[in-house]
Amino acid sequence: MAEVEAAQLKEEGNRHFQSQDYKAATKSYSQALKLTKDKSLLATLYRNRAACGLKMESYVQAASDASRETVIV
């Protein structure tokens, strides 16, 4: 159940990202990260959250998330 919810939150985050609501997208991705243990999904969520950080000019957070993503992969 948690994996399904995490995937739904990822899709929600993607919709927010597409509408340029990066703060809401970050929140959705962060919630999904708490629910999943799937390595592929974790990597995608960190990568997506890093992209949000770049768009919001939160470079330290973006670098941290990008680093976590590369460790998982």
Task: Give me the torsion for CA of 54, 69, 67, 46, rounded to 10°.
Answer: 40
Q: Give, for all 73 residues of the chain, the pLDDT tens digit.
A: 899 999 999 999 999 999 999 999 999 999 999 999 999 999 999 999 999 999 999 999 999 999 998 878 6
Token pair recorded at residue 57: 């000019």
Residues contacting 64, CB < 8 A, separation 6+: none
Nearest Cα to Cα of residue 14 among 34, 32, 1: 32
Note down the domain range covering 24.
2-72
CA angle centred on 51, ends 18 and 17, rounded to 5°: 15
Whole-prediction pTM: 0.94
> Cβ(47)–Cβ(69) under 8 Å?
yes
pLDDT for the residue 70: 82
CATH number at residue 37: 1.25.40.10
Count the domains in the chain: 1
